[in-house]
Amino acid sequence: MIYDIIRRRRSIFPNQYIDKPIAKSDIEKILQAANWAPTHKKTEPWRFKVLQGESQEKLGLFLSLKYLETEPRPKEFKAKKLMDNPKRAGAIIVICMQRDSLESLPEWEEIAATAMAVQNMWLCCTEMGIGCYWSSPGLIKYMDEFFELAPREKCLGFFYMGYYEGEIPEMTRRPIEDKVVWG
């Protein structure tokens, strides 16, 4: 049931992943789920770049070096984490948004549609037993140096994915009644 999947959805981080590849057919299914996100005026602004294997290592090296280059007081542990996390994932989907060339919609609507596509991927991963996490480090502003982005395409983050073992902890939320006003 969809409600149960929504309640089980969690951020599962790269240090929790086990060394098990994700099949291309499973990644394609996850991407197909993304493609069914709602989109105003059918602009379908989501764009994805799939990284596996060597391209993940290259991303980690790029992020680590860019961090060391741009951070006034870099921390060694953070540079190492930026290097290692991409290698731990079974796959990384780079989340991009292609802005409507006519700007017929506000940018926030295009970002929201892309976020809904990511939520579809997240729910699909949850159902498939694949852990995932949307990372949006400040370094994404440099992704045009790593990828060839189309004009008006913007990187919004990285969707790390990997299999994991063990139970995911229960989560709690404050009551919805604290967040709703009935008129």
Please report the sign of the dihedral spanned by the C-alpha atoms of residue 152, residue 156, residue 159, residue 160. positive
pLDDT, one tens digit per residue, over 76-111 is 999 999 999 999 999 999 999 999 888 889 999 999
**b/e map 173-183, b = 16+ CB within 10 Å:** eeeeeeeeeee
Q: Has residue 126 been placed in a domain? A: yes
Specify the CATH number for the domain of residue 124.
3.40.109.10
Number of folded domains that form the chain = 1
The identity of residue 46, as a single letter, is W
Q: Has residue 73 been placed in a domain? A: no
Please, which residues have CB within 8 angstroms of residue 76's CB and are 6 or more apart in sequence?
A: none
Query: What integer best gives the mean pLDDT of the chain?
Result: 95
pLDDT, one tens digit per residue, over 2-14 is 999 999 999 999 9
Region 160-172 average pLDDT: 90
> HSE-up of 90 (CA within 13 Å, CB side)?
23
pLDDT-based confidence at residue 1 (cuts at 50, 70, 90)? confident
